[in-house]
Chains A and B, each alone.
Chain A
Amino acid sequence: MAAPHAPLRRLAPQIIILAAVLALNLAVFPDFFRIEFQNGRLFGNLIDVLNRGAPTALLAIGMTLVIATRGIDLSVGAVMAIAGAVAAKIVVDGHGWGTALLGALAAGGACGLWNGVLVAWLRIQPIVATLVLMVAGRGVAQLVTEGTILTFLNEGLIHLGAGTILGMPTPVVIWIALGAGVTWAVRRTALGLLIEAIGINESASRLAGINAKVLLTCVYLVSGLCAALAGVIVAADIKGADANNAGLWLELDAILAVVIGGNSLLGGRFSITASLLGALIIQSVNSAILLSGMPPEFNLVIKALIILVILVIQSPRIGHWLYILRASGGDPAPRRKTPVKETAR
């Protein structure tokens, strides 16, 4: 990480995969890269990929941090539903969109805090701790919407999902800004390093003086806030809060984005940019399948096969074999205890 060209090398596999998928898009749909400016808004398939990928990208930001601490947050989909429901409820009750956004963020933050307390203070495994909210969350969301799809016509709130800022769809601006902000916060301070330390060895990090409990709680809090933002965007996009379907299985997409981003599920080194690229890769695959005119049924099978390939490439055993292969080939590979993922490209 010390070398100046290191970030680019870290991101190279993701950029190459993204380029390949985009090229595939271009092959099935020649106009893919055409971007038009109409009615004060950018139009084009590329913009669509950025826009439709917004919820996954937002979730991936929080999920990257959580996974870097060797945790996982299964509840983000349910938190999205809760946040969307709260925002819709506040708007329907006649308050402004700012209040709605704050309310949704507060709900998401509370959910994140709950997860964080379970994981950091009660020391429950992350999968189990977040499973509770994953199961109960949609029930809570339905409690808020009273079982109906709450629709609203508040211009300000709808703008968050369907509007534009300087011609760019608002969700795109939000996720890029948040991604840049969080990356800046963790990389320009020691925060990222501390989070990685927890993921690599929590006891050791605590002995080294890191306040692991507070940091862990904060990480889940951020994940909850990201999920709340994603939930508001999804609700604003359809002008309604659907407690049953908002963010359904999106937690899996977010985890997938993080994994495609080359972040190990076993914690440690992370890159938010790579996760965001992972989210874009997922969305580009979706768009390629749609544009190619293939039945959308194949979407899941193709996605599963892609995960499998990426997993096999990332698996420690394969990485070890490649490492040995390179070492025996006389290539002076850098000496590392554990083979790093990008060597196994």
Chain B
Amino acid sequence: MIRSTSLPLYVTLATFVIAYALCASAYPAMLSTRVAANLLTDNAFLGIAAVGMTFVILSGGIDLSVGSVIAFTGVFLAVLLRDTSIHPLAAFAIVLALTTGFGAAMGAIIHHLEMPPFIVTLAGMFLARGAAYVLSVDSVPITHEFYDWLQDIYWKAPSGGRFRLTGALMVLTFLGGILVAHRTRFGQNVYALGGGAQTARLMGVPLGRTTIGIYAISGGLSGLAGIVFSLYTSAGYSLAAVGVELDAIAAVVIGGTLLTGGTGFVAGTFFGILIMGLIQTYIVFDGTLSSWWTKIVIGALLFTFILLQKGLTWATTLRRRPAPGSPMPS
């Protein structure tokens, strides 16, 4: 029998395969490598941010600052490259250090002041977005040979699909995330923390270090997502990437990670991202459906997966509790 913790992952995988098959039967062109390549390129920044979000949600927290940090990174890079003659790679290093530090600071506040992650990252969201506004309210174009060079790196598949650097970066991030989550002590600590902070502490998990690490990862990956986003749009705009955190959370949930923390897979998030990208691609192919259907379908998917998770949780608690008269844990 399939373990109930990995069942959501299989459901996500099956949903993706069936959805792709349905799309392909309606529009055979969906099978081309162009579509596959665009699916990766267009969702690269969202995917990278979602990896960080997966860690946060696995630990039972939430990070609402993701979209703002992406916007801040873009504006910061654009302004830095416009006003100074610094090399983009150095700028990348600076901005990654900044965003990682920002995430770590939020983690520290959450841990040391015992405040709900929701409200702390909400403040972080305002702060990052506000910092982006302060840097520039206009869209700042990025023109640098190094950027052009990075954007021109791609591997052309036989049938014309261009697999770009950013897509590869997303896949690498996911692979890294999977390794960290399942093959390191830190990853196990994250799962333990999500299973229950009190239990984890009794087991000897360093709560402070883990919490700060988790939010630092989320902040750093948001920064990386911001870099990818600036490569994607060649500009920095303080109003960009509004609501990306919601898309990332939706992808994580559709990917089968329990929002209460403790169970889930980084790999599931990857397919969550692909499913969301697929919906958008289908709407583009169809041409008659309006863009707002994306939101409705994603909302419906979110609802379905939440119900599925709820059902699974119920099933497992019922199996563990033979006495039906005992009160249900909330």
Contacts and interface: CB of A to CB of B under 8 A. Distances in A.
Contact of B133 (A127, A297, A308, A311): A297
Contacts of B122: 252, 255-256, 307
B146 interface: no
A316 interface: yes
**B interface SS class:** helix
Given A125-B260, A139-B296, A265-B116, A297 B306 contact: no
A256 B113 CA distance: 18
A140 B259 CA distance: 24
A131 B292 contact: no
B294 A299 contact: no
| Interface size band for B | 35 or more
A305 B131 CA distance: 11
A215 to B, nearest CB: 15
A99 interface: no
Contacts of B118: 72, 127, 265
Given A136-B300, A298-B130, A304-B127, A317 B119 contact: no
Contact of A132 (B127, B133, B292, B302): B302
A303 interface: yes
A297 B137 contact: yes
B253 interface: yes
Contacts of B133: 297-301
Interface residues of A, number: 49
Identify which of A135, A138, A302, A303 gathers the most chain B CB atoms within 10 Å of its CB. Answer: A135
B62 A127 contact: yes
B259 A128 contact: yes
Interface string B295-318: 110111011001100100000000
B129 interface: yes
A123 interface: yes
Interface string A221-250: 000000000000000000000010000000
A242 to B, nearest CB: 13
Given A123-B328, A255-B122, A317-B112, 16 more contacts: A128-B259, A135-B295, A135-B299, A138-B295, A139-B294, A142-B292, A147-B291, A203-B330, A265-B119, A295-B137, A304-B124, A304-B130, A307-B123, A311-B113, A311-B119, A315-B114
Interface of B: 62, 109, 112-116, 118-120, 122-127, 129-131, 133-134, 137, 246, 249-250, 253, 259-260, 290-296, 298-300, 302-303, 306-307, 310, 327-328, 330
